[in-house]
Structure 1
């Protein structure tokens, strides 16, 4: 069964995404979204270390608005591959949510960002237990508060997968899930990024993850030696490094067990999934094959690239349509008033 796709929100107050005339096409949108400066957090934050398994710890960054009170909502922001809690898209959305009076926890996935050196293990697209642990921490810190998990790219896959798993293993306070450009079919994404026009991104990711893996093994010399000379694509990396390090039989096994797509029909909490048909990393077809539950809206835009969505018109203070869309959804969900301009 296929899902019914809303190309835009039915709420007339939400403007549809129309790309800026100077930033047309998925490649320009992606580059602008990832590399244009922007994303500063003026609010103070506190770093916390959270124990997970095998002696590893996570580093999270917690920002609490001055007027926030127990019972007010909180959001956990989860970055994508090669990112961190300080990635521009994370900072931009965090700043918007804080202005709405929402407590924000920016999560560094295992070994990422400020969490480097705290863990011998690494994150991957299916490692939801770490996100669950952060959600449990926030629920204990803010009992009675509704909590949203907002994921970006790989972090969006984690958010959706955890929302499905929470049906059998509930997460206290888990109120809603938002996912921006989630790779819900990892095998399809692996094929898509190897298309000739997208290979530049594959090579860029490979450079990042090879450096990160080499840095980790240099920091922890007791780890097994790693030889990444044969790694030319993300698929190679997942076959030779991700899969064996995390107990998967192969990259194909890792992709099959970690993709959120097959689990999405099980999700019971409300939420929003946003994707763009011209995303050079993540193809649109898998979204059309998933039966999204009615309370989990899918908005599939014709343009926007990967976490780009640089708009023709200003909304909510600037042209970053995705940031405003996520904030507007939570503002409506939690009755936090209109978006600040």
Structure 2
């Protein structure tokens, strides 16, 4: 499969615009009709993920008279939710194509700050594996497909890597703009375009306020005064994780091309070389070989963008459908 077909018009080619369209897209108005069938059957569930952890999400099953093609578990990026534009659009596309869909909220995302006392951090893969297992049992379908975006793409690929040992065996796990080297992503946010740093700092502060409201015993008083994203992360690791340092924490969810090539279950990666927060150099050496069913690296696309025309259609959604169909044969 080639990425040669992705040639966005010059008007929407810029990486920051592609990234903006992924999260603040006017496409939402177009989804109201396209997503109506999915929304009509969507039910909210709180999943038992093991060790007392609960994660919530929305499950949309195909009508009883229509056989499902499998369950698609979708995972948003950091500070996103089940309703994030890029995820919701993908969910509409997959549901219309005949897949059951579960839109998962990671811990402390999508208004779920009250469900678990301890705050979210990115190394919490065990509970996401538990959520995948619970969602699959809820769905009653043995065919599981996973799609994640950005940090959710990292989680999706880790499901592919660690799932089989935990009883979760995806047909395919796809990372879209996956943050495989979190240290470099942290640097890109810190020293890259100001809009990204301000955006993520603002979102994180809102999350800490919501967590404090749900669990008053937590003390986040130092964080509003920290202007550095890196220093906020360093302080958070010391305060709320068991990792001895920020470097140890970041290493816990760093992925390499060698790890993906040797994955015990099939994986695929879609990324853009102009992604402003996911440096492309850390994908060097990755190829469609071994467990990697596809590695598509486009010249343009920004971060989770991949908007291919002025009708704001998603190139990534078409590729995911192709990959699902190939994996399901």
TM-score (norm 1): 0.85
Give the secondary structure class of the aligned counterpart of 2:73: strand
Structure 1: runs of 5+ lacking an equivalent: 1-8, 336-341
Following superposition of structure 1 onto structure 2, how do residues 1-341 of structure 1 map, counting pairs within 5 Å? 9-10=1-2, 16-39=5-28, 40=31, 41-42=35-36, 43=38, 44-52=41-49, 55-67=52-64, 72-143=69-140, 145-167=142-164, 169-195=165-191, 197-261=192-256, 263-290=259-286, 293-296=289-292, 297-312=294-309, 319-334=313-328
Distance 2:287 2:147 in 1: 21
Quote the Cα distance in structure 2 between the aligned partners of 1:68 and 1:103. 13
Q: Partners in 2 of 1:240 and 1:19 — Cα distance?
A: 40
| Counterpart-to-counterpart distance in 1, 2:247 and 2:221 | 21
Which of 48-57 and 215-224 deviates more?
48-57
- Secondary structure of the structure 1 residue equivalent to 2:82: coil
Higher helix share goes to which structure?
2
Q: Measure, in 2, the Cα distance between the counterparts of 1:153 and 1:243.
A: 24
Report the CA distance between 1:71 and its aligned residue.
Answer: 7.3
Q: Distance between the aligned counterparts of 2:168 and 2:66, measured in 1?
A: 18
Shift of 1:249: 1.7
- Runs of 4 or more, structure 1, over 6 Å off, are 68-71
Shift of 1:274: 0.4
| TM-score w.r.t. length of structure 2 | 0.88
Task: Summarize the Cα distance change of 1:301–1:17 in structure 2 as closer, same or farther, 3 Å threshold.
Answer: same
CA drift of 1:68 comes to 6.8
Report the CA distance between 1:96 and its aligned residue: 0.8
Distance 1:201 1:332 in 2: 36
In the aligned structure 2, how far is the partner of 1:77 from the partner of 1:200? Answer: 26
Tell me how far apart the structure 2 counterparts of residues 139 and 125 of structure 1 sit (CA, whole Å): 22
Cα distance in 2 between the residues matched to 1:243 and 1:288: 32
Do the aligned partners of residues 146 and 54 (structure 1) sit closer, same or farther apart at CA in structure 2, a change above 3 Å counting? closer
Relative to structure 2, which stretch is displaced further, 265-274 or 68-77? 68-77
Number of aligned pairs? 319
**How much is the aligned-residue C-alpha RMSD, in angstroms?**
2.4
Native 8 Å contact 1:84 1:108 kept in 2: yes
Unaligned regions of 5+ residues in structure 2, if any?
none
CA distance in 2, matches of 1:68, 1:240: 53
